[in-house]
Amino acid sequence: MRAPALTLISAMALASTGTVLAADAGNAHQFNFVSIDGKPMPLSEFKGKTVLVVNTASQCGFTPQYSALEAVYKKYKDKGLIVLGVPSNDFGGQEPGSNAEIKKFCEGNYDVDFPLTTKYDVKGDEAHPFYKWAAAVGGTPAVPAWNFHKLLIDGNGNLVAEFPTKTKPDAPDVEKAIEASLAAKG
């Protein structure tokens, strides 16, 4: 009987030090980004919607995935999908531009219409809190190992799937997960 009490006390002590515990980590709706245009972008605005969060880069071999991301966004947005691009310079310095340059590149080269955030770190100690949360609740598969890593968040803000860089946004397993999340919302 003593072990559970000690475990609870230990968990409370860890939580009070700021260590994120997966069981108490909340959901994605607690996090805020800033849009590429400098406006607040709280994820709570996406309650009830499925969100595909993708760390992006303009000078990466996987940059052509922007086209598939836009196609998936157009295919499912009226059903409740948001694709959220999070530019990051964490991998190979492949996103060196300013927010204005990134936006111009995405719109001019790939007709990107889905929301983009300002540039953020997505790994390590400086990672945006959303990415730290995803790592805490999803473990290693949720941690981006390169650009164009995909995290799927359901309408309740739960992390429901992770897809590595090489998995294209329009791959059957990605679309199946998106469709399942969209169907579960109602």
pLDDT in tens, 32-47: 999 999 999 999 999 9
Name the active-site residue from 11, 25, 34, 60: 60
Q: CA 87, 88, 92, 93: dihedral to nearest 10 degrees?
A: 90
Q: Give residue 133's pLDDT.
A: 97
Q: Crossing angle, helix 172-184 and helix 65-76, to 10 degrees?
A: 30
* Dihedrals phi, psi of 126, to nearest 5 degrees: -95, 5
- How far, in Å, CA of 155 to CA of 147, rounded? 24
Task: Name the DSSP letter for residue 35.
Answer: B
Q: Give residue 18's pLDDT.
A: 36
What's the CATH code, domain 23-184?
Answer: 3.40.30.10
Is 106 an annotated catalytic residue? no
Q: Give residue 24's pLDDT.
A: 59
Domain locations in the chain as residue ranges: 23-184
Q: Are 55 and 186 in contact (CB under 8 A)?
A: no
Tens-digit pLDDT string for the chain (186 aa): 333 333 333 333 333 333 344 445 789 999 999 999 999 999 999 999 999 999 999 999 999 999 999 999 999 999 999 999 999 999 999 999 999 999 999 999 999 999 999 999 999 999 999 999 999 999 999 999 999 999 999 999 999 999 999 999 999 999 999 999 999 964
Q: Give residue 14's pLDDT.
A: 34
Whole-number Cα distances in Å, 124 to 7, 16, 68, 133: 28, 21, 28, 12
Q: CA 72, 160, 28, 93: dihedral to nearest 10 degrees?
A: -60
Question: pTM above 0.85?
Answer: yes
Q: Give residue 25's pLDDT.
A: 72
Query: Coil, helix or strand for 98?
Result: coil
pLDDT in tens, 122-146: 999 999 999 999 999 999 999 999 9
